[in-house]
Every structure is written in C-alpha cells, then in structure tokens.
Chain A
Amino acid sequence: MTRKPTTVTAPLPLPQAAPAMQAETPLPAARRDIAPLLLVPLLMLAVLPFVSFPTWITLTVAGLAMGMMIFIMASGLTLVFGLMNVLNFGHGAFVSVGAFSATLVLLPMRDWLEADSLAANLGALGLAVLLAMAVTGLLGWVFERVLIMPVYGQHLKQILITMGGMIVSEQLINVIWGAEQLPLPLPAALHGALFLGDAAIEKYRLVAVVVGLVVFAAMFLTLNRTRIGLLIRAGVENGDMVEALGYRIRRLFVAVFAAGSALAGLGGVMWGLYKETLTASMGADITVMIFIVIIIGGLGSVGGCFIGALLMALAGNYAGFLAPKVALVSNIILMIAILLWRPAGLYSKSRS
C-alpha cells in the first residue's frame, strides 16, 4: 500500500464561465519514433563501402532471411512476456518440435518435394507447415496449462520449469525420432540461386524473406485492426484495466501463447529447411539469440522484435564476412550498444 503525501484540500475557486478548451491547446504532434527503424538501412549502407556490391547483395539478403526467421521464432515470446510477464525459457522447444513434426509430412512426401513442379513442392511444404504449426500450437496450449499456469508471477520458478519443459521436449524428440541428425530436404524448386548481375541470391532465402514479411504484416494488421489485437496491446500496457473492462486476460494470454508457439513451430520448419539437417537441440541453440532479440527490441514489442531480429542477423552476417572473429561476439556487441542507447530496448513499453 503506497501512502500518498497527505494534502488538505483547500477550497478550490471554480471559474464561473465554462472555459473554451478547444481553441488554444495545440494539436500534439503524432509521436512516431522512427529512429530504431532507420537503424536497419543505416547498418546496410554502412557496410556497403567495405565490400563489393554483389557480395553486399548476397550478404544482405542472407541477413534479412535469417532475421525474418528469427523474428518469426521470437515474436510469440515477446508478446508472452509483455502480456503476462512470463519468462518462457522453453520457447526453443517449439522450434525443435515444429521442425521435427514437419518431417512427418516431408519425408513420406519426398516424391512431391523432388518433383519438378512448383505446385507439388509448395503443396508438400504447405502441408508440413500446417502440421508443424498445429502440433506446436497444441503443445503450447498444454505447456501453458500444465507448466506455466501454476507459476504465474514467480520468475525464478518460471525459468526453472520452462527450461525443464524444454529438456523433456528434447528427450521426447530423441525418443520419437532417434538421437541421430535428421536430414530435411529442401524442395527441388527452392534449390539453387538466382543471379542478379554477379550477385547470387539463394532462392530459399528470398522465400524466407517473403514469408517473414507476410507474418509481420499479418501480425501488424491483427494487432492494429482487430479487437483481439487491440486487447493484446492494451493488455501488455495494463492488464488490470483490460480485466476491469470485462475481458478475461488469461484466456487471451493462452491464445497468444498457443499462437506464439505455432509461430515458433513455423520458424522451426523454416530454420530446419535452411540448415537442411535437424537436431533435437536446435531450439535450445537458438534460444539465446531469440532472447537477445526480444531484449534489444524491448520486451513486449512486436515492432522492436522485428527490427532487433533484422539488426542482429545483418550484423552477424556482415561481421562473419568482414571480421570472422568479431562475428562470435557481434550479438553481444549489438545488444550492449543498443541497451546503452535505450536501456529498456528499442521500443520499450515502459518508456513514455
């Protein structure tokens, strides 16, 4: 209970005439904070003088593709944290499970993948993605009910139990699919590269960029144009008030958790196809990167997560080419630089 400083209310002189409030107050400028957004093209341009143009194109497209995949995996986690203050260290489990679930479709349908028909390729891929998202969405729902609900509001327990959940998921993958690496074949139509002058652009990376943009646009529209999206944003800012307006925020949270898990599953499939081999620990391996991205972006902010993912992947790619030793620590350097500039992340919900 916070005790406010005691003040005796003095009789307040009330003006007789109703004031004209409209005329003098100037319209507040619509505050659009675009500085973080500009960082992405700025970073791209900053590297241009140091590499040849074709190399720059290749590196940039690869960086964007990787950034999009990380964004898809991380976006659910940032909302989960923003909405219910839940730290889910087991988010990587959905990445692995999603990728392995996809093999249930892709391996039996290998013929379709190898067929010289884009429609057959994409059909098999689409089916695999749907299955992976259904499995991870369902797993997310169970994960929330069984593991996270009992530890609402207790961060230490959340970290322990969600890490435990991830270990169990990894072992389950080993039980079901074996402990060996599993190859995940890329459809024939997505093999190879396009050439733009001298610059080679792998087709699959272009697909990843397009899928990432579509997911971002869909999330953006949902969060800005639908009641449920507005409720999610309102809930991130003030959950109590959303409840006081008559909405059950826990139900909303479970839905967001399941949707975020399904997105992680989608990201897992894309990540698996990118690497073309699957290991049970692939989710755990990428968890650190996912956390760095949502911290850079500002916990709870989808836009920040998007920019953070692009920045991190681009920086990693550029550094890997220009100064391979720096690439090992480029994530950390980026995080430190951004947190020095904005200690709560690019788009922090607690700022303002």
Chain B
Amino acid sequence: MAHPNLRDVNAAPAADPILTLSGVHTHIGQYHILQGVDMAVPRGGLAVLLGRNGAGKTTTLRTIMGLWKASRGSIVFDGRDISKMTTPDIARAGIAYVPESMAVFSELTVRENLYLAARSGPLDAARVDWICGFFPALKRFWNYPAGNLSGGQKQMVAIARAIVEPRQLLLVDEPTKGLAPAIVQSLMAAFRELKDTRTTILLVEQNFNFVRSLGDSVSVMDDGRVVHAGLMHDLAGDAALQQRLLGLSLDSHQ
C-alpha cells in the first residue's frame, strides 16, 4: 500500500449516488491498471476525478463506458449493474462520453457530428440554440468538416455531441488539455450552464484551478485506486490536504 494515510475513501458517503463503482479491476493486456476502484458519483452534481498521469482516471472512464471490460467488481448505474453490458447499451442507458482524444468525426460536418449523437431523431433546434449560446463557434462552422476546426472548437463539438440530447450522466475526460486560456474560459461557462440543468457530470481533470470552483465532490486516484473522496469545498480550502493528495502523489513519482 503506497499511501495508507490517504485511504480516507469513506470520508463523504454520497447520498443517492447515480453511479457506484465497487472494487473495480481492469486489466489491459498484461497490465493491471485499475486495482479495486471504489467511487460514488452523487446524483445531479459535478464530480471531479483528480490524480497524476497514469493513475487510472482515463481507464476508469473507459471501464464505465464498457470500452475496457472490468475483470472484477461492479459498476451500478441508476440501480443496475452495467459492468457486463456492451458499450452501446451503456450509452443507451443514459451515459454520454467525451474522450480525451475528443474523437470528433473529422470528415463529418459539425451538424452531422451532432446529428449522429442525437439518437432519437432529428436535432432539437431549441437545444442546439442553447448549446450554440455558450459555444458560438459551432453555429459558425455548422457545415464545416469537424476535422478543419481548431483543438478548442473540436472540444466544443465533442461536448456538444454529449449533451445534444439530455443524458443522465456525462463522462468528460480532460477537456482543458492543451487548450488556450480563452477556450478554457468558455468551457467553464458551458459546465456552469450544464450544472444548472442538474445533469450529473463526472469530470477527469489535471487542471485543479479549472475544477476547484466547478466541482461539488472530488475523488483522487493513485496507482489504480481511489485514495481520497470528499467534497470539493473541503479540498479547495485545505492547502495541506491538496499538498498531501496532489503535490505528494505527483512528487513521489517524478
């Protein structure tokens, strides 16, 4: 056990979690990446998942999404175990995913990207207007191939795709990675709007400044486990805890 003193996982048990991971293990080839992840995402808030590179944050999201299969443990979403379900069924259960690579379909236009994300039929014009309200670039490049857009604009397409129809839970992987501060600012505005709709969001981030004011709850991962879970408010106000969780875990692996 690397940091026995950090195992305060049960510090803040979430009331009515929409998603609960219990003892989730994931193997990728010969690597044992997730080594018993326990995590609860409270319904209707923004949960942040922090941790150094390689801690298993992306793997956690991919495992929830069924893109990697959990070798052990359970993932309960809205009352049912999704750990054995296929990715399309998990998506249809109400989970949307914004991968770290954004994975916009570069040959398809912005409109076509959103159109495919709207499974239930044609695009809802009012909702598209709402999205373009905080991502005006989308309207502007509506009929352009998404591959021609800048990194920030692609991120907007990726997020818009996840929210073009209401979903119960959004998994968002490092949305600010490599983006200019101006774009980060407009992403922040978008997440605030989304929070107002009471959509549950699980946000993986490295950029603590981006999430400290956005997050409601926070989990910190290290070495394939969750080593801290609590309220963002508590972590944001406790420099020593930040140092211990984020500083320490970073330093010890340099």
Contacts and interface: CB of A to CB of B under 8 A. Distances in A.
Interface of A: 1, 3-9, 11-15, 18-19, 21-22, 25, 27-31, 227, 230-231, 233-234, 237-238, 240-249, 352
Contact of A15 (B88, B97, B147, B182): B182
A5 B52 CA distance: 10
Contacts of A30: 144-145, 148
B137 A21 contact: yes
Contacts of B198: none
A245 B67 contact: no
Contacts of A28: 141, 144, 148-149
B87 A243 contact: yes
12 contacts: A3-B53, A4-B54, A6-B53, A6-B54, A27-B140, A28-B149, A233-B105, A233-B108, A240-B103, A241-B103, A245-B116, A246-B92
B107 A12 contact: no
Most buried by A among B52, B87, B208: B87
Interface stretch (B12-20, B75-83, B183-191): B183-191
Contact of A25 (B115, B116, B150): B150
Given A4-B54, A7-B53, A7-B206, A238 B115 contact: no
Given A1-B31, A3-B54, A243-B91, 11 more contacts: A1-B59, A14-B181, A19-B182, A27-B144, A28-B141, A28-B144, A240-B99, A244-B91, A244-B103, A245-B119, A247-B119
Given A30-B144, A231-B116, A14 B184 contact: yes
B43 interface: no
A9 B249 CA distance: 13
Given A5-B53, A22-B136, A11 B182 contact: no
A248 B86 contact: yes
Interface of B: 28, 31, 33, 52-54, 59, 65, 67, 86-88, 91-92, 96-97, 99, 103, 105-108, 112, 115-117, 119, 136-137, 140-141, 144-145, 147-150, 161, 181-186, 188-189, 206-210, 250, 253-254
B54 A13 contact: no
Nearest to B254: A6
Contacts of B99: 240-241, 244
Residue of B91, B116, B140 with highest tally of chain A CB at under 10 A:
B116
B103 A18 contact: no
Contacts of A27: 140-141, 144
B202 to A, nearest CB: 14
B175 to A, nearest CB: 13
B208 A9 contact: yes
Greatest chain B CB density within 10 A among A7, A15, A243, A247 is at A243
A31 B106 CA distance: 11
Contact of A244 (B67, B107, B115): B67
A253 B116 CA distance: 17
A21 B184 CA distance: 12
B105 A237 contact: yes
Contacts of A352: 106, 147
Nearest to A242: B116
A14 B91 contact: no
B91 A246 contact: yes
A6 B53 CA distance: 6
A181 B140 CA distance: 61
A238 B115 CA distance: 16
A234 B105 contact: yes
A12 B210 CA distance: 8
Given A1-B31, A244-B67, A237 B136 contact: no
Contacts of A18: 185-186, 189
A190 B61 CA distance: 61
Given A9-B207, A234-B108, A243 B88 contact: yes
B136 A21 contact: yes
Contacts of B87: 240, 243-244
A227 B116 contact: yes
B75 to A, nearest CB: 15
A12 B52 CA distance: 17
A202 to B, nearest CB: 38
B156 to A, nearest CB: 10
A19 B186 contact: yes
A230 B115 contact: yes
B138 to A, nearest CB: 11
